Structure 1
Amino acid sequence: MQCKTHNSQQNLLITEENWRSEIIDFPLEFAPSLEYFGTEHIRFAPGWGKKNAADYFSYAFLWILDQDPELSSKKLESDMETYFDGLIKVISKEELKSNIDITKSKAFFEKVNDSVYAGKILTYDPFTTRKDVNLNIIVTYRYCTLEKKHLALFNISPQAPEHQIWKKMKKIAIDLTCE
C-alpha cells in the first residue's frame, strides 16, 4: 500500500514496499534558491533514520522538472550543497541557536557519461546522529519525451558502492512512460 503524501500524488519511485515515501513540490521550501518547477519523489530505506542500521541515511529521490536542469559536475555540486545546507538549516534550528558549529556541505561530482554522474557529499546529519556524514551519490539523468519532463534520479548512501544497499537502489524504477 502506498503512503499518502502531503500533496496526495502517487510516488513514482518503485521500491520495496517497506521504503517510506514522500513527495515535495518545487520550489523546495528548505532550498528556495533551487529555481526549479516540478516535484521531488523520495523513498527512504527502512533503516534510514537508525544510526547503526546497514541502510542508515540511504535513500533515493527523483526530481521531475519542467525545465532542463543543465546538469554538469559543477551544477550538481552547487545544487547539492544548497539542498543539504537548506535541510540542515531547517532541521537544526535549535542547534544553530546554541551556536553549535555545523560544517557547510561540500559536494564533489564526476561525469561518468552523458546521463550519469558519481559523487560524494560531505554534510551533516541533522535528523539522527547530529554528526558529520559522508554520502556517496549516483545521479542518473534523462529526458521524458512523452511527459516533456526532465528526470534526475539521485541514489544516496554513506555505504561503499559494493554494499548490499546499492544493489537495492539499482533496482529502483520510475513509474512513468517516457517513450
Structure 2
Amino acid sequence: MNKLLVITLLLTTIATFGQKEESLLLVADSTWGKEVIHLPFGFAPEIDFVGYEDIRFAKGWGNIESSEFWSYVFVWNINLQEKPNAKFFQDNLKLYFDGLMKAVNKEKDKIIPEAKVTIIAKEETNGITKFTGKIITHDSFRTKKLITLQVSVESFYCKKTKKYMPLFRFSPQPFEHQIWKKLHNVKLKENYCQNK
C-alpha cells in the first residue's frame, strides 16, 4: 500500500511540475477551467508537433443543460513554422477529434464514427489569419451521440520565435449566440510571443 501511495505522489508531483513548467498563454476570468496537454498527443500521435496545448473550459462545458455546454478555447504553442491554411486545420482537427473520442469512449464494442470537419479561410488582418468552420464528431464525454461544433480559429505569427500559434474556439451554439462573446473574451496574453 505504501508503495502505491509513493508512486501516486511521485506521478502527481511530476504532472504538476510539467504543467508549471509551461507558461499559460490564455487569459480568462476565474470561472474558466484550465488544463495543459503536451504534444505529441497520446490520443492523436499523428499530429506530429512538439509543444503544448493551453485549454480553457467554460463553466458549463460539461453540463448538457447549459448554454455553455461543450464551449471551450485552446491555443497550440507548438513548433509550427509553416503558415497553416484551411486544409491544415481541417486535417489536424479531424485527427484530434477522432483520436480524442476513441480514447475517451468507455462503451465496449462501440465503433466511434469519424469526425467530419469543414474549415474555410475568412480573412487576414494585422498578420492574424482567421478561419471558421464546423465539426461533426461523436461526444464520448457526455451525450454519447453526434454533436456539431462551430469553430473559429485565429492564427497568430510570432516573429521572435518564427512560429505560428493557432487559437481555437468551439461551441455547439451558432456564432450569433452570446457564448461567442465569452469565448472571444478568452485571449492570448499580451506577451505571448515571449514564450518558447
Normalising by structure 2, report the TM-score: 0.82
Q: State the partner residue of 1:165.
A: 179
Unpaired segments of 5 or more residues in structure 1? none
Letter of the 1:109 counterpart: I
Answer yes or no: is 1:125 the counterpart of 2:139.
yes
8 Å Cα contact 1:11-1:21 kept in structure 2: no
Q: State the partner residue of 1:138.
A: 152
Answer yes or no: is 1:14 the counterpart of 2:27.
yes
Percent of paired sites with the same residue: 34
CA drift of 1:26 comes to 1.0
Task: Quickly say closer, same or farther: Cα 1:118–1:28, change in 2 above 3 A.
Answer: same
Query: Number of residue pairs matched?
Result: 173
CA drift of 1:99 comes to 2.5
8 Å Cα contact 1:11-1:22 kept in structure 2: no
Task: Quickly say closer, same or farther: Cα 1:72–1:147, change in 2 above 3 A.
Answer: closer
What is the CA–CA distance in structure 1 between the aligned matches of 2:32 and 2:100, rounded to whole Å?
20
What is the CA–CA distance in structure 2 between the aligned matches of 1:33 and 1:71, rounded to whole Å?
16
Q: Find 1:105's aligned residue among 115, 120, 128.
A: 115
Letter of the 2:55 counterpart: I
Q: State the partner residue of 1:46.
A: 59
Letter of the 2:27 counterpart: I
Task: Please list the CA deviations of residues 75-100 of structure 1 after superposition, one character each: whole Å capped at 9, or x if unmatched.
Answer: 211111100011011101x32xx322
What is the CA–CA distance in structure 2 between the aligned matches of 1:155 and 1:146, rounded to whole Å?
25
* Higher normalized helix content (fraction of residues): 2
What is the CA–CA distance in structure 1 between the aligned matches of 2:139 and 2:163, rounded to whole Å?
31
Task: Quickly say closer, same or farther: Cα 1:13–1:50, change in 2 above 3 A.
Answer: same
Unpaired segments of 5 or more residues in structure 2? 1-15
Letter of the 1:51 counterpart: I
